Amino acid sequence: MMHSTIHSDRDTLDKFISIYSSLRKDNLNSLDEIYSEDVVFEDPAHRIEGYENLASYFESLYMNVTDCRFEIHDYAVNESVAFLSWTMTLSHPKLQGGEARSVNGCTKLTLKDGRVVRHRDYFDLGEMLYEALPFLGSAVKLIKKRLGQ
| Per-residue pLDDT band at 6 (split at 50, 70, 90) | low
Residue ranges of domains in the chain, CATH in brackets: 2-123 (3.10.450.50)
Please give, one letter per residue, the 3-state secondary structure of the chain: CHHHHHHHHHHHHHHHHHHHHCCCHHHHHHHHHCEEEEEEEEECCEEEECHHHHHHHHHHHHHHCCEEEEEEEEEEEECCEEEEEEEEEEECCCCHHHCEEEEEEEEEEEEECCEEEEEEEEECHHHHCHHHCCCHHHHHHHHHHHHCC
- Spell out the residues 6+ positions from residue 28 whose beta carbon is closer than 8 angstroms to its own: 55, 58, 59, 62
Of 16-20, 46-50, 91-95, least confident by mean pLDDT is: 91-95
pLDDT of res. 63: 86
Query: Model's pTM, two decimal places?
Result: 0.80
pLDDT at position 127 over 60: no
pLDDT at position 18 over 80: yes
| Per-residue pLDDT band at 2 (split at 50, 70, 90) | very low
